Structure 1
Amino acid sequence: MMQNSSYAPYLDTALHLLDEATALIERLTGARIPTRKADGTLVTQTDQAVDELLAKRLGEIYPAHAVLSEERTTTYDPALRFTWVVDPIDGTTNFARGLPVWGTSIALLEWGVPVVGAVGFPSLHETFSASKGFGAALNRLPIATAGDRRVDSQHFIMCCTRTGRRYRVDTPLKPRILGSAAYHLLKVADGSALAAIEATPKIWDLAAALLILAEAGGVVQPLSGRRPFPVPARAGDFRTHSFPLLAAANPDILAAVSAQITEIGN
């Protein structure tokens, strides 16, 4: 792999493209009416327009790189060294219904491993970023996970809407559902929450957020199946593949919360 310092230009590109995406979203103020995709999730014209913009711009800047995204190309080509992973709007239901917790996620994989990640939440004025080996930031200021080593009722655990259907979680931590997989993980990264459970996240939900979490000191454990990264060195379509996981501020919290989770079904 390249020296870590060489990732800086890629991170600058990702942050610049977040600004371009935000500008487009602001222009498309009437394009929030959702339709339902084949998998039952919602999509808006804005999702599709942002996806198209980012794929086009990345192709112009890095013609030798691949782009894997939620709304366009969902297949991974292991023959290519670099692959950008894009989620044009994480939290589409929030976006479509007028809640402010939604954002755009951009990550760069090198041989299937995230090395750059940037996630912007325009309505919240929060932009998270990281490059491998250089720590994590919120609005360009360093962040770190919480230092607490015990779970109690004065801290949060972030959950997705499907968590309660698939897992019983017997923890004193207070649950919070904010409607964005990336934001849930990033709230662990910045120390707001001690843990997060995502029952059905896709690779584009995770690519940037997990790098930022790791660079902030967080840890992750699969709840079933394999870890999302590194991506296996074989071609694959990620449209229907999920990566259930538990994220935590540190190994002690991970062990404590993991022992409090029981799978109950689909």
Structure 2
Amino acid sequence: MNPERCVPAEPGDLDLALRLADLADAITLPRFRAADLRVERKPDRTPVTDADTAAEDAIRAALGHERPGDAILGEERGGSTDTAHGRGWVIDPIDGTKNFSRGVPAWATLIALVVDGVPTVGVVSAPALHRRWWGSAGAGAWARDLPSGTPKRIAVSGVADVADAYVSTTNTETFRTDPSPASREGWIALTEACWESRAFGDFWQHVLVAEGVVDVAVEPAANPWDLAAPAAVVAEAGGRLTDLAGNPTWSGGHGLTSNGLLHDAVLGVLRG
């Protein structure tokens, strides 16, 4: 476990996060591939559906009842971004809305509790993939099949050579269109240095790192709600998350998750 991960959650926080994921799944899954799904475009040209807003509103209402003193930051409704001190919940009601709106099952609800700047609880629930992942500070990382699979503890891989690494990103075009410390040329250099590359994308690649299925996941553009929950899961699985400059943050606008063994070498390749 990373030394930054020593802030404990309060008793019941993980249970609450899992119940919030159940609540969201009950809203989002029936709307997936629904004939009357409403899709709109936000000012940043990204899509939002009626399921996004309904799920976030339900989670916010539950938190208002269960944890009225906690701050909340959500993708659709905004909120407090000051999670450096105190407690705050960071929510992405549907990560992978483009997939959701097109009928691709790779999407998930992301729920994180951040305490004094550290994600101490993270839940990633992907009901259309029939899979859920979670982690809580000091309690390890876990996954189970939905709806009623047995939880199994997960851990990152032991791959220590970039040449043997399995690497993923979301969209290679993002390296060209979004400014970050990694360029498209850097990404291409990494794919050439690694054993295999894929584009599993979004939350999925990060939890696959936590499971030891993928060794490295590169996110050239990401919001805090995209990375807070995966950060908790990956850290408890024994991995590492930084931004693409190597800073240990989940809110730097981009992210890199790895098994830890490959992290510095991958940063070096990405930055040329």
TM-score by length of 1: 0.85
The total of aligned residue pairs comes to 248
> How far apart, CA to CA, are the structure 2 residues paired with 1:148 and 1:50?
38
> Residue 258 of structure 1 aligns to which amino acid in structure 2?
L
> How far apart, CA to CA, are the structure 1 residues paired with 2:82 and 2:241?
25
Residue 194 (structure 2) aligns with: 172
Residue 250 of structure 1 is aligned with which of 252, 256, 260? 260
> Residue 113 of structure 2 aligns to which amino acid in structure 1?
L
Residue 151 (structure 1) aligns with: 162
> How far apart, CA to CA, are the structure 2 residues paired with 1:151 and 1:3?
32
> How far apart, CA to CA, are the structure 2 residues paired with 1:149 and 1:79?
33
> How far apart, CA to CA, are the structure 1 residues paired with 2:218 and 2:82?
29
Q: What 5-or-longer segments of structure 1 have no aligned partner?
A: 232-241
The structure-2 alpha-carbon separation of the partners of 1:30 and 1:173, relative to structure 1 and needing over 3 Å to count, comes to same
Residue 228 (structure 1) aligns with: 249
- Residue pair 2:142, 2:154 contacting (<8 A) in 1 also: yes
Q: What 5-or-longer segments of structure 2 have no aligned partner?
A: 145-150, 177-182
Q: Which whole-Å deviations, capped at 9, do the CAs of 1:101-121 have from their partners, x for residues lacking one?
A: 000010111122111111101
Residue 35 of structure 1 is aligned with which of 24, 28, 40? 40
> Residue 15 of structure 2 aligns to which amino acid in structure 1?
D
Shift of 1:34: 2.3
| Paired-residue identity, % | 34
The RMSD of aligned alpha carbons is: 2.3
Residue 160 of structure 1 is aligned with which of 170, 181, 189? 170
Residue 112 (structure 1) aligns with: 117
> How far apart, CA to CA, are the structure 1 residues paired with 2:264 and 2:245?
16
> Residue 184 of structure 2 aligns to which amino acid in structure 1?
Y
1:90-239 to structure 2, matched below 5 A, reads 90-139=95-144, 140-152=151-163, 155-161=165-171, 162-165=173-176, 166-168=183-185, 169=187, 170=189, 171-180=193-202, 182-224=203-245, 226-228=247-249
Q: Which whole-Å deviations, capped at 9, do the CAs of 1:119-165 have from their partners, x for residues lacking one?
A: 10101111111111111011121000001111236x42110214542
> How far apart, CA to CA, are the structure 2 residues paired with 1:69 and 1:15?
17
> Residue 177 of structure 1 aligns to which amino acid in structure 2?
A
> Residue 152 of structure 1 aligns to which amino acid in structure 2?
A
- Residue pair 2:122, 2:233 contacting (<8 A) in 1 also: yes
TM-score by length of 2: 0.83
Shift of 1:225: 8.3
- Residue pair 2:6, 2:138 contacting (<8 A) in 1 also: no
SS in 2 for 1:127: strand
- Residue pair 2:133, 2:142 contacting (<8 A) in 1 also: yes
